[in-house]
Structure 1
Amino acid sequence: MTGRPPSAAVLVLHGGYETGVEPPPPGLLNLPGVRMRPFVRALRRATRVPGGGDDRTEVLVRQVRYGHRGWNGHRADALRDALAALDALGEEAAAGDGDGPPVVLLGHSMGARAALLAAGHPLVRGVVGLAPWCPPGDPVTQLAGRDIVLVHSSRDRVTSPQATQSLTARARRAGARTCMVTVRGGDHAMIRRAPAWHHLTTALVTGLLGTGTLPGPVTAALGLPPTAEATDGTLDLDRLRADRSAGLLSSP
Protein backbone atom coordinates (compact mmCIF):
# COMPACT_ATOMS: atom_id res chain seq x y z
CA MET A 1 0.00 0.00 0.00
CA THR A 2 1.21 3.51 -0.76
CA GLY A 3 0.09 6.92 0.50
CA ARG A 4 -2.64 7.02 3.13
CA PRO A 5 -3.60 3.62 4.50
CA PRO A 6 -7.03 2.37 3.42
CA SER A 7 -9.93 2.83 5.79
CA ALA A 8 -11.24 -0.62 4.86
CA ALA A 9 -10.37 -3.55 2.64
CA VAL A 10 -12.00 -6.32 0.64
CA LEU A 11 -10.11 -9.55 0.01
CA VAL A 12 -11.50 -11.55 -2.89
CA LEU A 13 -11.05 -15.34 -2.95
CA HIS A 14 -11.97 -17.17 -6.13
CA GLY A 15 -13.11 -20.77 -6.43
CA GLY A 16 -11.06 -23.85 -7.08
CA TYR A 17 -11.15 -27.62 -6.79
CA GLU A 18 -11.43 -30.21 -4.08
CA THR A 19 -7.95 -31.50 -4.93
CA GLY A 20 -5.05 -30.14 -6.95
CA VAL A 21 -1.60 -29.33 -5.60
CA GLU A 22 -0.41 -27.66 -8.80
CA PRO A 23 -0.58 -23.84 -8.93
CA PRO A 24 -3.51 -22.21 -10.70
CA PRO A 25 -2.83 -21.53 -14.38
CA PRO A 26 -1.83 -17.96 -15.23
CA GLY A 27 -4.05 -15.13 -16.43
CA LEU A 28 -7.11 -15.95 -18.49
CA LEU A 29 -6.47 -19.67 -18.16
CA ASN A 30 -7.46 -19.48 -14.51
CA LEU A 31 -11.21 -19.52 -15.13
CA PRO A 32 -12.29 -19.36 -11.44
CA GLY A 33 -10.11 -16.28 -11.02
CA VAL A 34 -11.41 -14.69 -14.21
CA ARG A 35 -14.99 -15.15 -13.03
CA MET A 36 -14.36 -12.88 -10.06
CA ARG A 37 -12.97 -10.00 -12.12
CA PRO A 38 -16.40 -8.39 -12.72
CA PHE A 39 -16.98 -8.39 -8.97
CA VAL A 40 -13.62 -6.72 -8.39
CA ARG A 41 -14.35 -4.06 -11.00
CA ALA A 42 -17.81 -3.40 -9.58
CA LEU A 43 -16.44 -3.03 -6.06
CA ARG A 44 -13.67 -0.68 -7.15
CA ARG A 45 -16.19 1.51 -8.96
CA ALA A 46 -18.54 1.51 -5.99
CA THR A 47 -15.84 2.46 -3.48
CA ARG A 48 -14.03 5.07 -5.60
CA VAL A 49 -14.45 8.60 -4.29
CA PRO A 50 -14.27 11.36 -6.94
CA GLY A 51 -11.92 14.23 -6.34
CA GLY A 52 -9.16 12.37 -4.54
CA GLY A 53 -8.93 14.78 -1.60
CA ASP A 54 -7.17 13.93 1.62
CA ASP A 55 -10.49 13.26 3.34
CA ARG A 56 -11.58 10.65 0.83
CA THR A 57 -12.58 7.17 1.91
CA GLU A 58 -10.15 4.63 0.55
CA VAL A 59 -11.14 0.99 0.22
CA LEU A 60 -8.53 -1.49 -0.88
CA VAL A 61 -9.87 -4.29 -3.09
CA ARG A 62 -7.32 -7.07 -3.41
CA GLN A 63 -7.49 -10.58 -4.88
CA VAL A 64 -5.89 -13.36 -2.88
CA ARG A 65 -3.38 -15.43 -4.84
CA TYR A 66 -3.43 -19.17 -4.30
CA GLY A 67 -0.36 -21.35 -4.28
CA HIS A 68 -2.43 -24.40 -5.22
CA ARG A 69 -5.59 -24.81 -7.24
CA GLY A 70 -7.23 -27.24 -4.79
CA TRP A 71 -8.31 -27.38 -1.16
CA ASN A 72 -6.45 -30.64 -0.64
CA GLY A 73 -8.06 -32.09 2.44
CA HIS A 74 -6.49 -31.30 5.78
CA ARG A 75 -3.93 -29.09 4.04
CA ALA A 76 -6.70 -26.52 3.45
CA ASP A 77 -4.38 -24.64 1.11
CA ALA A 78 -6.86 -21.89 0.21
CA LEU A 79 -7.42 -21.17 3.91
CA ARG A 80 -3.67 -20.85 4.46
CA ASP A 81 -3.46 -18.36 1.59
CA ALA A 82 -6.40 -16.35 2.96
CA LEU A 83 -4.82 -16.10 6.40
CA ALA A 84 -1.45 -15.14 4.88
CA ALA A 85 -3.14 -12.33 2.92
CA LEU A 86 -4.83 -11.06 6.09
CA ASP A 87 -1.54 -11.17 7.99
CA ALA A 88 0.13 -9.23 5.17
CA LEU A 89 -2.52 -6.50 5.46
CA GLY A 90 -1.85 -6.27 9.17
CA GLU A 91 1.90 -6.09 8.64
CA GLU A 92 1.53 -3.34 6.04
CA ALA A 93 -0.63 -1.36 8.42
CA ALA A 94 1.83 -1.85 11.28
CA ALA A 95 4.64 -0.54 9.07
CA GLY A 96 2.60 2.64 8.65
CA ASP A 97 1.81 2.87 12.38
CA GLY A 98 -1.75 1.66 11.81
CA ASP A 99 -3.82 -1.12 13.33
CA GLY A 100 -4.98 -2.63 10.06
CA PRO A 101 -8.20 -1.90 8.17
CA PRO A 102 -11.48 -3.69 8.82
CA VAL A 103 -11.86 -6.38 6.17
CA VAL A 104 -14.77 -8.01 4.40
CA LEU A 105 -13.90 -11.33 2.78
CA LEU A 106 -15.64 -12.04 -0.53
CA GLY A 107 -15.35 -15.64 -1.66
CA HIS A 108 -16.85 -17.92 -4.28
CA SER A 109 -17.24 -21.69 -3.82
CA MET A 110 -13.93 -22.96 -2.40
CA GLY A 111 -12.94 -19.35 -1.79
CA ALA A 112 -16.10 -18.86 0.29
CA ARG A 113 -15.17 -21.86 2.41
CA ALA A 114 -11.74 -20.35 2.98
CA ALA A 115 -13.33 -17.00 3.84
CA LEU A 116 -15.66 -18.55 6.40
CA LEU A 117 -12.86 -20.45 8.10
CA ALA A 118 -10.56 -17.39 8.07
CA ALA A 119 -13.22 -15.12 9.55
CA GLY A 120 -11.80 -15.43 13.05
CA HIS A 121 -8.82 -13.29 12.03
CA PRO A 122 -8.91 -10.03 14.04
CA LEU A 123 -9.13 -7.84 10.92
CA VAL A 124 -12.26 -9.52 9.57
CA ARG A 125 -15.57 -7.73 10.02
CA GLY A 126 -17.70 -9.92 7.79
CA VAL A 127 -17.96 -12.44 4.98
CA VAL A 128 -19.94 -12.47 1.76
CA GLY A 129 -19.94 -16.00 0.36
CA LEU A 130 -21.14 -16.77 -3.16
CA ALA A 131 -22.27 -20.33 -3.89
CA PRO A 132 -20.23 -21.38 -0.85
CA TRP A 133 -18.85 -24.82 -0.20
CA CYS A 134 -20.09 -25.57 3.31
CA PRO A 135 -19.28 -29.12 4.45
CA PRO A 136 -21.43 -29.95 7.50
CA GLY A 137 -18.41 -30.68 9.68
CA ASP A 138 -16.75 -27.28 9.25
CA PRO A 139 -16.53 -25.25 12.49
CA VAL A 140 -18.53 -22.04 13.02
CA THR A 141 -17.23 -20.73 16.35
CA GLN A 142 -14.75 -18.47 14.50
CA LEU A 143 -17.74 -16.61 13.01
CA ALA A 144 -18.94 -15.26 16.36
CA GLY A 145 -19.35 -11.49 16.26
CA ARG A 146 -19.08 -11.35 12.47
CA ASP A 147 -21.66 -10.47 9.81
CA ILE A 148 -22.09 -13.39 7.41
CA VAL A 149 -24.18 -13.14 4.23
CA LEU A 150 -24.25 -16.17 1.95
CA VAL A 151 -25.74 -16.10 -1.56
CA HIS A 152 -26.69 -19.32 -3.31
CA SER A 153 -28.55 -20.32 -6.44
CA SER A 154 -31.55 -22.55 -5.96
CA ARG A 155 -30.30 -24.60 -8.94
CA ASP A 156 -26.69 -25.07 -7.87
CA ARG A 157 -25.55 -28.61 -8.66
CA VAL A 158 -21.94 -28.20 -7.48
CA THR A 159 -22.34 -26.94 -3.92
CA SER A 160 -25.41 -27.38 -1.74
CA PRO A 161 -27.79 -24.50 -0.99
CA GLN A 162 -29.26 -26.63 1.80
CA ALA A 163 -25.83 -26.92 3.44
CA THR A 164 -25.46 -23.15 3.16
CA GLN A 165 -28.79 -22.57 4.86
CA SER A 166 -27.84 -24.99 7.62
CA LEU A 167 -24.55 -23.18 8.19
CA THR A 168 -26.32 -19.84 8.66
CA ALA A 169 -28.36 -21.36 11.48
CA ARG A 170 -25.36 -23.06 13.12
CA ALA A 171 -23.31 -19.89 12.90
CA ARG A 172 -26.14 -17.79 14.35
CA ARG A 173 -26.31 -20.08 17.36
CA ALA A 174 -22.54 -19.64 17.73
CA GLY A 175 -22.87 -15.86 17.95
CA ALA A 176 -22.63 -14.73 14.32
CA ARG A 177 -25.10 -12.43 12.58
CA THR A 178 -26.17 -14.37 9.48
CA CYS A 179 -28.35 -14.16 6.41
CA MET A 180 -28.82 -16.21 3.23
CA VAL A 181 -30.05 -14.83 -0.10
CA THR A 182 -31.38 -17.27 -2.70
CA VAL A 183 -30.97 -16.50 -6.41
CA ARG A 184 -33.73 -18.27 -8.31
CA GLY A 185 -32.63 -19.52 -11.71
CA GLY A 186 -28.95 -18.92 -11.08
CA ASP A 187 -26.10 -21.40 -11.35
CA HIS A 188 -22.88 -22.22 -9.55
CA ALA A 189 -20.66 -20.24 -11.93
CA MET A 190 -22.93 -17.18 -11.52
CA ILE A 191 -23.22 -16.85 -15.29
CA ARG A 192 -27.01 -16.98 -15.35
CA ARG A 193 -28.34 -13.68 -14.01
CA ALA A 194 -24.76 -12.44 -13.77
CA PRO A 195 -25.64 -8.71 -13.45
CA ALA A 196 -27.94 -9.51 -10.52
CA TRP A 197 -25.11 -11.38 -8.75
CA HIS A 198 -22.77 -8.42 -9.34
CA HIS A 199 -25.22 -5.75 -8.13
CA LEU A 200 -26.28 -7.71 -5.06
CA THR A 201 -22.72 -8.57 -4.07
CA THR A 202 -21.60 -4.96 -4.39
CA ALA A 203 -24.49 -3.83 -2.19
CA LEU A 204 -23.72 -6.48 0.42
CA VAL A 205 -19.97 -5.85 0.59
CA THR A 206 -20.24 -2.05 0.73
CA GLY A 207 -23.05 -2.35 3.26
CA LEU A 208 -20.98 -4.56 5.56
CA LEU A 209 -18.03 -2.18 5.22
CA GLY A 210 -20.22 0.78 6.12
CA THR A 211 -19.47 2.59 2.87
CA GLY A 212 -22.94 1.75 1.54
CA THR A 213 -26.36 0.79 2.84
CA LEU A 214 -27.44 -2.80 3.30
CA PRO A 215 -30.86 -3.78 1.97
CA GLY A 216 -33.33 -3.44 4.82
CA PRO A 217 -34.41 -7.11 4.86
CA VAL A 218 -30.76 -8.17 5.07
CA THR A 219 -30.22 -5.90 8.07
CA ALA A 220 -33.31 -7.39 9.69
CA ALA A 221 -32.10 -10.94 9.06
CA LEU A 222 -28.70 -10.15 10.56
CA GLY A 223 -30.50 -8.99 13.69
CA LEU A 224 -32.36 -12.25 14.28
CA PRO A 225 -31.88 -13.95 17.67
CA PRO A 226 -29.62 -16.99 17.95
CA THR A 227 -32.64 -19.29 18.28
CA ALA A 228 -34.15 -18.25 14.92
CA GLU A 229 -34.81 -20.98 12.38
CA ALA A 230 -32.68 -21.20 9.27
CA THR A 231 -35.65 -20.29 7.10
CA ASP A 232 -36.22 -17.09 9.09
CA GLY A 233 -32.90 -15.69 7.87
CA THR A 234 -33.32 -16.81 4.26
CA LEU A 235 -34.32 -14.17 1.72
CA ASP A 236 -35.24 -14.30 -1.96
CA LEU A 237 -33.37 -11.99 -4.33
CA ASP A 238 -36.43 -11.25 -6.44
CA ARG A 239 -38.39 -10.20 -3.38
CA LEU A 240 -35.49 -7.99 -2.34
CA ARG A 241 -35.58 -6.33 -5.73
CA ALA A 242 -39.30 -5.76 -5.38
CA ASP A 243 -38.67 -3.82 -2.18
CA ARG A 244 -37.77 -0.25 -3.06
CA SER A 245 -35.94 0.15 0.23
CA ALA A 246 -33.50 -2.56 -0.88
CA GLY A 247 -32.10 -0.31 -3.61
CA LEU A 248 -31.73 -3.18 -6.07
CA LEU A 249 -34.52 -2.44 -8.51
CA SER A 250 -32.08 -1.43 -11.22
CA SER A 251 -30.47 -4.86 -11.20
CA PRO A 252 -31.35 -7.05 -14.19
Structure 2
Amino acid sequence: MAHHALVGTGGARAPRLGGPVGSAAPAVGGVVLLLPDGEPASERGPSPRAYAAALAPARRLARAGRADGLVAHVVRYRGRGWNAPDARLAADARWAASEVVRRYGDVPVCLAGRGMGGRAALRAAGHTAVHAVLALAPWLPEDDMAAPPEPVKQLAGRHVLIVHGTNDARTDPELSYRLAERAKKVNRDTCRFEVHSDGHALREHRAEVAALSADFVRGALFHHPFARPLADALAAPPPLGLRMPLASGFGGTRGR
Protein backbone atom coordinates (compact mmCIF):
# COMPACT_ATOMS: atom_id res chain seq x y z
CA MET A 1 0.00 0.00 0.00
CA ALA A 2 1.34 3.41 -0.90
CA HIS A 3 1.54 6.17 1.66
CA HIS A 4 1.80 9.83 0.75
CA ALA A 5 4.08 12.07 2.81
CA LEU A 6 2.41 15.42 3.15
CA VAL A 7 3.00 18.74 4.82
CA GLY A 8 1.22 18.49 8.17
CA THR A 9 0.85 20.31 11.43
CA GLY A 10 4.49 21.16 11.92
CA GLY A 11 7.56 19.63 13.52
CA ALA A 12 10.12 17.21 12.14
CA ARG A 13 7.48 14.52 11.67
CA ALA A 14 4.26 15.19 9.80
CA PRO A 15 1.02 13.20 9.73
CA ARG A 16 0.28 11.15 6.63
CA LEU A 17 -2.78 9.76 4.97
CA GLY A 18 -2.54 6.13 3.95
CA GLY A 19 -4.65 4.52 1.30
CA PRO A 20 -7.14 4.59 -0.15
CA VAL A 21 -8.01 1.23 1.41
CA GLY A 22 -9.93 -1.45 -0.47
CA SER A 23 -11.42 -1.32 -3.93
CA ALA A 24 -11.57 2.07 -5.57
CA ALA A 25 -15.03 3.62 -5.55
CA PRO A 26 -16.46 4.61 -8.95
CA ALA A 27 -16.58 8.25 -7.83
CA VAL A 28 -15.77 9.64 -4.40
CA GLY A 29 -18.95 10.59 -2.57
CA GLY A 30 -17.66 10.50 1.00
CA VAL A 31 -14.65 9.59 3.09
CA VAL A 32 -14.18 7.74 6.36
CA LEU A 33 -10.95 8.44 8.21
CA LEU A 34 -9.77 5.64 10.52
CA LEU A 35 -7.92 6.96 13.56
CA PRO A 36 -5.72 4.34 15.27
CA ASP A 37 -5.23 3.94 19.02
CA GLY A 38 -2.41 5.75 20.79
CA GLU A 39 -0.82 6.36 24.18
CA PRO A 40 -1.50 9.03 26.82
CA ALA A 41 2.03 10.45 26.65
CA SER A 42 4.84 9.50 24.31
CA GLU A 43 7.43 11.08 22.01
CA ARG A 44 7.83 7.86 20.03
CA GLY A 45 6.80 7.62 16.41
CA PRO A 46 3.42 6.24 15.28
CA SER A 47 2.67 2.64 16.19
CA PRO A 48 2.81 0.25 13.20
CA ARG A 49 0.68 -2.22 15.16
CA ALA A 50 -2.09 0.32 15.82
CA TYR A 51 -1.98 1.41 12.18
CA ALA A 52 -2.24 -2.18 10.96
CA ALA A 53 -5.16 -2.85 13.32
CA ALA A 54 -7.14 -0.07 11.65
CA LEU A 55 -6.76 -1.51 8.14
CA ALA A 56 -9.33 -4.31 8.47
CA PRO A 57 -12.19 -2.06 9.65
CA ALA A 58 -11.21 0.44 6.95
CA ARG A 59 -11.57 -2.25 4.30
CA ARG A 60 -14.93 -3.38 5.69
CA LEU A 61 -16.34 0.14 5.69
CA ALA A 62 -15.01 0.88 2.18
CA ARG A 63 -16.58 -2.34 0.91
CA ALA A 64 -19.93 -1.59 2.58
CA GLY A 65 -20.08 1.91 1.10
CA ARG A 66 -18.49 1.33 -2.28
CA ALA A 67 -21.75 1.77 -4.20
CA ASP A 68 -22.11 5.23 -2.61
CA GLY A 69 -18.56 6.22 -3.47
CA LEU A 70 -17.15 5.77 0.04
CA VAL A 71 -13.37 5.89 0.32
CA ALA A 72 -11.49 4.89 3.49
CA HIS A 73 -8.11 6.15 4.64
CA VAL A 74 -6.11 5.27 7.75
CA VAL A 75 -4.36 8.25 9.35
CA ARG A 76 -0.71 7.83 10.31
CA TYR A 77 -0.11 10.23 13.17
CA ARG A 78 3.03 12.25 13.81
CA GLY A 79 3.54 10.13 16.93
CA ARG A 80 1.59 7.85 19.22
CA GLY A 81 1.18 10.23 22.18
CA TRP A 82 -1.94 12.28 22.98
CA ASN A 83 0.37 14.52 24.99
CA ALA A 84 -2.05 16.82 26.77
CA PRO A 85 -2.58 19.72 26.55
CA ASP A 86 -1.42 19.52 22.91
CA ALA A 87 -3.93 16.75 22.05
CA ARG A 88 -1.70 15.83 19.12
CA LEU A 89 -3.83 12.98 17.82
CA ALA A 90 -6.86 15.26 17.57
CA ALA A 91 -4.76 17.86 15.76
CA ASP A 92 -3.65 15.20 13.29
CA ALA A 93 -7.29 14.15 12.79
CA ARG A 94 -8.22 17.74 11.94
CA TRP A 95 -5.31 17.91 9.52
CA ALA A 96 -6.53 14.70 7.86
CA ALA A 97 -10.03 16.17 7.41
CA SER A 98 -8.49 19.21 5.72
CA GLU A 99 -6.43 16.93 3.51
CA VAL A 100 -9.61 15.15 2.42
CA VAL A 101 -11.06 18.50 1.35
CA ARG A 102 -7.86 19.27 -0.57
CA ARG A 103 -7.93 15.92 -2.38
CA TYR A 104 -11.62 15.31 -2.94
CA GLY A 105 -13.41 18.62 -2.52
CA ASP A 106 -16.65 19.12 -0.61
CA VAL A 107 -17.49 15.55 0.42
CA PRO A 108 -18.84 14.44 3.80
CA VAL A 109 -16.34 12.93 6.24
CA CYS A 110 -16.75 10.46 9.08
CA LEU A 111 -14.05 10.28 11.74
CA ALA A 112 -13.85 6.73 13.12
CA GLY A 113 -11.49 5.76 15.92
CA ARG A 114 -10.85 3.16 18.59
CA GLY A 115 -9.47 3.86 22.06
CA MET A 116 -7.47 7.07 21.93
CA GLY A 117 -8.42 7.33 18.28
CA GLY A 118 -12.03 7.48 19.47
CA ARG A 119 -11.21 10.47 21.66
CA ALA A 120 -9.40 12.10 18.73
CA ALA A 121 -12.48 11.59 16.55
CA LEU A 122 -14.77 13.17 19.14
CA ARG A 123 -12.42 16.09 19.79
CA ALA A 124 -11.82 16.86 16.08
CA ALA A 125 -15.51 16.73 15.12
CA GLY A 126 -15.74 20.51 14.84
CA HIS A 127 -13.98 20.50 11.46
CA THR A 128 -16.43 21.78 8.86
CA ALA A 129 -16.03 18.69 6.64
CA VAL A 130 -16.99 16.28 9.42
CA HIS A 131 -20.57 15.01 9.30
CA ALA A 132 -20.27 11.97 11.56
CA VAL A 133 -18.20 10.52 14.39
CA LEU A 134 -17.81 6.83 15.27
CA ALA A 135 -16.00 6.21 18.56
CA LEU A 136 -15.30 2.60 19.56
CA ALA A 137 -14.31 2.07 23.21
CA PRO A 138 -13.03 5.66 23.40
CA TRP A 139 -10.27 6.48 25.85
CA LEU A 140 -11.44 9.42 27.92
CA PRO A 141 -9.84 11.19 30.88
CA GLU A 142 -10.88 10.31 34.40
CA ASP A 143 -13.28 12.76 36.00
CA ASP A 144 -11.14 15.50 37.55
CA MET A 145 -12.72 18.45 39.31
CA ALA A 146 -9.54 20.47 38.73
CA ALA A 147 -9.55 19.94 34.96
CA PRO A 148 -12.11 21.18 32.45
CA PRO A 149 -14.52 18.49 31.23
CA GLU A 150 -14.00 16.91 27.83
CA PRO A 151 -15.63 19.31 25.30
CA VAL A 152 -18.84 18.32 23.51
CA LYS A 153 -19.98 21.53 21.76
CA GLN A 154 -17.99 20.57 18.65
CA LEU A 155 -20.33 17.59 18.20
CA ALA A 156 -23.36 19.78 17.45
CA GLY A 157 -24.78 19.12 14.00
CA ARG A 158 -23.00 15.76 13.60
CA HIS A 159 -24.24 12.21 13.85
CA VAL A 160 -22.41 10.58 16.75
CA LEU A 161 -22.21 6.88 17.61
CA ILE A 162 -20.27 5.54 20.60
CA VAL A 163 -19.86 1.78 21.09
CA HIS A 164 -18.40 0.32 24.28
CA GLY A 165 -18.02 -3.15 25.77
CA THR A 166 -19.36 -3.46 29.29
CA ASN A 167 -16.34 -5.56 30.35
CA ASP A 168 -13.74 -3.14 28.99
CA ALA A 169 -10.81 -3.15 31.42
CA ARG A 170 -8.74 -0.59 29.50
CA THR A 171 -11.17 2.28 28.91
CA ASP A 172 -13.98 2.88 31.37
CA PRO A 173 -17.40 2.47 29.67
CA GLU A 174 -19.01 4.63 32.34
CA LEU A 175 -16.89 7.59 31.24
CA SER A 176 -18.11 7.25 27.65
CA TYR A 177 -21.67 7.14 28.96
CA ARG A 178 -21.16 10.37 30.91
CA LEU A 179 -19.69 12.08 27.84
CA ALA A 180 -22.59 10.82 25.68
CA GLU A 181 -25.03 12.16 28.26
CA ARG A 182 -23.51 15.63 28.02
CA ALA A 183 -23.23 15.40 24.22
CA LYS A 184 -26.92 14.51 23.89
CA LYS A 185 -27.81 17.87 25.46
CA VAL A 186 -26.12 19.78 22.63
CA ASN A 187 -26.72 17.28 19.83
CA ARG A 188 -29.84 15.14 19.61
CA ASP A 189 -28.20 12.94 16.93
CA THR A 190 -26.05 11.19 19.52
CA CYS A 191 -26.40 7.57 20.59
CA ARG A 192 -24.37 4.95 22.39
CA PHE A 193 -24.49 1.14 22.24
CA GLU A 194 -23.32 -1.20 24.98
CA VAL A 195 -21.85 -4.55 23.97
CA HIS A 196 -22.61 -6.74 26.95
CA SER A 197 -19.89 -9.10 28.19
CA ASP A 198 -17.39 -7.82 25.58
CA GLY A 199 -14.01 -6.24 26.27
CA HIS A 200 -11.96 -3.40 24.84
CA ALA A 201 -11.28 -5.03 21.46
CA LEU A 202 -14.96 -5.98 20.98
CA ARG A 203 -13.85 -9.34 19.61
CA GLU A 204 -16.76 -11.41 20.89
CA HIS A 205 -19.24 -9.43 18.79
CA ARG A 206 -16.96 -8.25 16.01
CA ALA A 207 -19.47 -9.01 13.25
CA GLU A 208 -22.27 -7.08 14.97
CA VAL A 209 -20.01 -4.10 15.69
CA ALA A 210 -18.85 -4.07 12.06
CA ALA A 211 -22.44 -4.20 10.79
CA LEU A 212 -23.52 -1.42 13.16
CA SER A 213 -20.56 0.73 12.11
CA ALA A 214 -21.28 0.27 8.41
CA ASP A 215 -24.98 1.00 8.85
CA PHE A 216 -24.16 4.17 10.79
CA VAL A 217 -21.60 5.47 8.29
CA ARG A 218 -23.84 4.84 5.28
CA GLY A 219 -26.80 6.47 6.99
CA ALA A 220 -24.90 9.47 8.33
CA LEU A 221 -22.95 10.24 5.13
CA PHE A 222 -25.35 9.11 2.41
CA HIS A 223 -28.79 9.40 4.05
CA HIS A 224 -29.66 5.72 3.88
CA PRO A 225 -32.33 4.72 6.41
CA PHE A 226 -30.73 3.58 9.65
CA ALA A 227 -31.41 0.05 10.86
CA ARG A 228 -34.24 0.01 13.39
CA PRO A 229 -32.08 -0.38 16.53
CA LEU A 230 -29.85 2.52 15.45
CA ALA A 231 -32.80 4.73 14.53
CA ASP A 232 -34.42 3.91 17.89
CA ALA A 233 -31.22 4.74 19.78
CA LEU A 234 -30.85 8.10 18.05
CA ALA A 235 -34.48 8.98 18.79
CA ALA A 236 -34.62 7.76 22.39
CA PRO A 237 -33.93 10.11 25.30
CA PRO A 238 -31.28 9.30 27.91
CA PRO A 239 -30.56 6.88 29.37
CA LEU A 240 -32.23 4.46 26.93
CA GLY A 241 -30.62 5.82 23.76
CA LEU A 242 -27.22 5.91 25.45
CA ARG A 243 -27.33 2.39 26.94
CA MET A 244 -28.78 0.61 23.93
CA PRO A 245 -27.73 -3.06 23.95
CA LEU A 246 -26.19 -4.34 20.73
CA ALA A 247 -28.21 -7.43 19.93
CA SER A 248 -26.54 -10.63 18.90
CA GLY A 249 -27.06 -11.09 15.17
CA PHE A 250 -27.27 -7.37 14.32
CA GLY A 251 -26.78 -7.00 10.60
CA GLY A 252 -28.66 -10.22 9.80
CA THR A 253 -32.35 -10.97 9.84
CA ARG A 254 -32.51 -10.42 13.59
CA GLY A 255 -30.78 -7.02 13.39
CA ARG A 256 -33.30 -5.41 11.07
TM-score of the aligned structures, taking structure 1 as reference length: 0.82
Q: Is residue 112–residue 133 contact of structure 1 (8 Å, CA) maintained in 2?
A: yes
Partner-residue secondary structure (3-state), 1:64: strand
Q: Is residue 14–residue 108 contact of structure 1 (8 Å, CA) maintained in 2?
A: yes
Partner-residue secondary structure (3-state), 1:145: coil
| Cα drift, residue 175 of structure 1 | 2.7
Q: Hey, what does 2:243 align to over in structure 1?
A: 234
Q: Hey, what does 1:22 align to over in structure 2?
A: 44
Q: Hey, what does 1:52 align to over in structure 2?
A: none
Q: Hey, what does 2:57 align to over in structure 1?
A: 39
Separation of aligned partners in 1, 2:25 and 2:121: 28
Higher helix fraction (1 or 2): 1
1:63 maps to which of 68, 71, 74: 74
Deviation track 1:25-46 (CA, whole Å, cap 9, x = no partner) reads 4xxxx22222222211111211
Partner-residue secondary structure (3-state), 1:132: coil
Q: Which amino acid aligns with 1:237?
A: L
| Cα drift, residue 245 of structure 1 | 7.1
Q: Hey, what does 1:250 align to over in structure 2?
A: none
Q: Which amino acid aligns with 2:89?
A: A
Structure 1 segments, 4+ long, off by >6 Å, are: 1-4
- CA pair 149-243 structure 1, distance change in 2 beyond 3 A: same
1:109 matched to 2:89: no
Separation of aligned partners in 2, 1:221 and 1:197: 15
Deviation track 1:68-127 (CA, whole Å, cap 9, x = no partner) reads 11111111110111011011112224xxxx4x2111111101011000011111111111
- CA pair 191-46 structure 1, distance change in 2 beyond 3 A: same
Q: How many residues align?
A: 228
Separation of aligned partners in 2, 1:237 and 1:35: 22
Q: Percent identity?
A: 31
TM-score of the aligned structures, taking structure 2 as reference length: 0.80
| Cα drift, residue 242 of structure 1 | 9.8
**CA-atom RMSD, angstroms?**
2.5
